[in-house]
Amino acid sequence: MTDIFDTTTTAAETDESDTEDAVSEFASVTTDEQEEWRGPVSDRRAQVLLVANTYPSDQALYRNAFIHRRVLAYLEAGIDVEVYYLHPPVEESYGYLFDGVQVTVGGPADYEQRIAAHRYRTILVHFANEHMIRPVVEHQPETPVIVWVHGFEAEAWHRRWFNFTDSATQIRQALAKRDDYHVDQLRLMGRLMSATDLDVRIVHVSDWFRRNIVEPDTGVSTRHPYVIPNIVDGDFFPYREKEPEHRLRVLSIRPFASHKYANDQTVAAILELSTRPFFDRLSFTIRGEGPMFAETVSPLRDLPSVSVQEGFLRQEEIAELHVEHGVFLAPTRFDSQGVSMCEAMASGLVPVSTAIAAIPEFVEDRVTGLLTAPEDPAGLADRIEMLYYNPELFQRLSESAARRVREQCGHEATVSREIEMIGRDL
């Protein structure tokens, strides 16, 4: 058997703040908060194990919420699945219930004991690292494994350059992580992608990300690639025909824990629009959470047409905001999909975003949304002005966005395919 762990160092714990989800970085759970929802670990073992680097809770609503949506769909389809949140600092495992899903939180030792003691029919891995993969290889190498590739776990160290440009300290930290995490992590991903003696299937959330990031950075082509985007639930985010006045109401719901989400560009675009004669007819709603929130939005505090609020939003609250607004302002510096943008599209909001990374795979400029060049706040303002003066264009893009995202990211195009993959092993 191929030794996919022929390095002398161990994989570093993945940085949960980098998790690739439109809103996965919103939550930060302290030890005290965790104590509130700790419970016993369930003794029951399912046929299918899903392991991830983090999972939502009542205290952390958005962490890997896109994985939770999958789990709910699997359970509804009759798949017997359990969730393991593998968190290396945890010494004593515990459990909690979230939205009807039983979750176990534990460290590498407890996880390995579970893999050694129970034979699963299939193991589902999100944000793969050595802690997740090594026990499977050592204790049940014949078990089928499906690995989802979402983002940072398969990127070269420099891909998120925008997060370490503020100081020399950040650059030194990034270079250190390059040597003690990225080399081994990319080697692991490359070997999983090319394995011939393990039953491993690789799912990429976008073809652009596979072709332009994952395969170049690992130096390996995926043997049998599956491209399945993260699900966008069109029932939860129903399309309601937008009226022309909805084009005047602009919404932004973003994490504020990384420069990746380009919230500074959103602020700059609004400030640019404030110099234009129609600005008083527009309204903006900014919602988000993260350590960069207060400083980033501070220039908007004195604008009466801008509503700024920090804090968590439940999915129901997001859906309600979708109903009230018509434009979703979502510039980015790096995205493998852009789930919150796609959810807004499902509700009929017109996305205004950046033609970078995988975004054009999900938004076609002037067909299902409006795109601008990277690092171009004035261009973002111009796109909103375009919608202001063209209500017919706004309504056409709104309808097209809702239709396109259902075709590309709806249940049949996403979790139905995943359920078929999992069902093959049951």
Give the model confidence (pLDDT) of 44-97 as tens digits.
889 999 999 999 998 888 789 999 999 999 999 999 999 999 999 999 999 999
**Model confidence over 271-328: pLDDT tens digits?**
999 999 999 999 999 999 999 999 999 999 999 999 999 988 888 999 999 999 999 9
- Give the pLDDT confidence score for residue 37 in this predicted structure: 61
* Contact between residue 191 and residue 147 where contact means Cβ atoms under 8 Å apart: no
Amino acid found at 267: V
CA 18 – CA 11 distance, rounded (Å): 16
Helix extents (H) in 77-143: 108-117, 130-139
Q: How confident is the model at residue 399 (pLDDT cuts 50, 70, 90)?
A: very high
- Give the pLDDT confidence score for residue 182 in this predicted structure: 87
**Model confidence over 195-214: pLDDT tens digits?**
998 999 999 999 999 999 99
**Model confidence over 229-263: pLDDT tens digits?**
999 999 999 999 999 999 999 999 999 999 999 99
SS (H, E, C) 216-250: HHHCCCCCCEEECCCCCCCCCCCCCCCCHHHHHEE
Domain residue spans of the chain: 16-230+411-423, 244-409
CA 335 – CA 310 distance, rounded (Å): 23
Amino acid found at 116: A
**Model confidence over 102-140: pLDDT tens digits?**
999 999 999 999 999 999 999 999 999 999 999 999 999
Helix extents (H) in 40-162: 65-76, 108-117, 130-139
In words, the CATH class of domain 16-230+411-423 is alpha beta
Q: How confident is the model at residue 23 (pLDDT cuts 50, 70, 90)?
A: very low
Classify each residue of 81-104 as buried b or exposed e, where b means 16 or more C-beta atoms within 10 Å of its C-beta: bbbbbbbbebeebbbbebeebbbb
Q: Does residue 365 register a pLDDT over 60?
A: yes
- The overall pTM is greater than 0.75: yes
Where do we find the tokens 């111009």?
A: 382
Least confident of 165-179, 250-264, 265-279, 367-381: 165-179
What's 81's DSSP letter? E
Region 407-413: mean pLDDT is 97
- Give the pLDDT confidence score for residue 274 in this predicted structure: 98
CATH 3.40.50.2000 fits 244-409, yes or no: yes
- Give the pLDDT confidence score for residue 9 in this predicted structure: 37
- Give the pLDDT confidence score for residue 29 in this predicted structure: 37
Do 244-409 and 16-230+411-423 fall under one CATH topology? yes
Q: How confident is the model at residue 148 (pLDDT cuts 50, 70, 90)?
A: very high
* Contact between residue 65 and residue 21 where contact means Cβ atoms under 8 Å apart: yes
27 Cβ neighbours under 8 A, 6+ residues apart: 56, 59, 60, 61, 62, 63, 289, 312
Q: Does residue 221 register a pLDDT over 50?
A: yes
**Mean of the per-residue pLDDT values for the chain?**
90
Structure tokens at 360: 């054009």
